[in-house]
Amino acid sequence: MLKSFNGIIEAAKEGGAKRLVIPAATKMDMKLLGKAAGAGLVIPLLVGDGKVIEDMIEETALKSLKYEIVDEKDPDKVLSTSIQSIREGRADILMQGSVNHQALMDAVMDAKNGLRKGKLMSFISVFQLLKPEKLILVTDTFINNSPTLADKQLILEHALKLAGILGIDTPKVAALAAIEQINLNIPSTLDAAILSKMSERKQFGKAIVEGPLDIDCALSEAAAARKGLKSIVTGNVDIYLVPEVDTGHLLAEALVFFGKMETAGAIMGTTNPVILNLPFVADEGRIVEIAIASLMCGKGGDGA
């Protein structure tokens, strides 16, 4: 089981360099790719104006490493050319670059020419705990605004796939809600309870889902005991399944900005790994994202 971001990076190195395509890379992207390529994680495929790209490469460590340029001077074709390289098997991972976020998501989700796999995509934020040393997953933190119960089942299954890739054999899942009791007027408590019952009946394999749990019961076995809850999940959670994206996104940002925790993320539900540029992910976290994407390669993009 991987327990740290360094562990993720080292595991990804063992799998060899993957081909990463990036449309219209910025100078910051070039520096990041220089580090990732230097670590043996990727071989960049850079799509855009060839002369501009060559000039930027000269200022980074990438100039002495292996890379490929696809000269595409039409900015309207840079993204589609990048995605096509994935679809044709010439690249393994798509990274956002400087293209507009909404344009990227629209292109990835396009039913005919995109990279979406199945009914739903979701985003998982990965955090590194120091005491105890372990990785935790929080989902969905970016994509799904108002997920239905069926959506939450898929979001959970995505998280379980990533947990498996990270070596978490029996994931313990906290299905979060505002309170730890089932309240018919609070839909998130009903969804959590249903997912928990599905887990009891082994519909999620070896995963153990407990819910509804409020955040203090999820974090503290003692707090759960005070409220009459007894579960091997409380105080030892691997995956935090949030009710909707407002909760997930705010939780992820709070952990980063208030808690000073490092984070990395992964999109699930695509044929190949896709890496976004998110404001709460630092450069060190983006290297970890590249490493996670590398581990996902060859496993159906989303770990399938």
Q: Contact 98/24 with Cβ under 8 angstroms?
A: yes
How far apart, in Å, are the Cα atoms of 31 and each of 2, 61, 94, 95, 263?
Answer: 27, 7, 17, 14, 19
Q: Cβ(229)–Cβ(217) under 8 Å? A: yes
Q: Which pLDDT score, from 0 to 100, does residue 59 have?
A: 84
Render each residue's pLDDT in the chain as its tens digit; 304 residues.
899 999 999 999 999 999 999 999 999 999 999 999 999 999 999 999 999 999 999 888 898 999 999 999 999 999 999 999 999 999 999 999 999 999 999 999 998 999 999 899 999 999 999 888 999 999 999 999 999 999 999 999 999 999 999 999 999 999 999 999 999 999 999 999 999 999 999 999 999 999 999 999 999 999 999 998 989 999 999 999 999 999 999 999 999 999 999 999 999 999 999 999 998 999 999 999 999 999 999 665 554 4
pLDDT value of position 303: 44
CATH of span 122-257: 3.40.718.10
Cite the residue boundaries of each domain of the chain with CATH code 3.40.718.10.
Answer: 122-257
- pLDDT of the residue at 304: 44
Interval 150-198: pLDDT, tens: 999 999 999 999 999 999 999 999 999 999 999 999 999 999 999 999 9
Is residue 115 a contact partner of residue 82, using CB atoms and an 8 Å limit? no
Q: Collect all residues with Cβ–Cβ distance below 8 Å to 165 and sequence separation of at least 6.
A: 292, 295, 296, 299, 303
Query: What pLDDT is stored for residue 24 in this prediction?
Result: 93
* Domain covering 5-119+268-296 in this structure, CATH number: 3.40.50.10950
For position 300, what pLDDT does the model report? 52
User: What are the φ and ψ backbone dihedral angles of 240, each rounded to 5 degrees?
Assistant: -105, 110
pLDDT at residue 132, as a whole number: 84
Q: Where in the chain is the domain with CATH 3.40.50.10950?
A: 5-119+268-296
Q: CA-based angle 149:150:151, to the nearest 5? A: 90
- Please list, in sequence order, all residues whose beta carbon lies within 8 angstroms of the beta carbon of residue 11, skipping any fewer than 6 positions away: 2, 291, 295
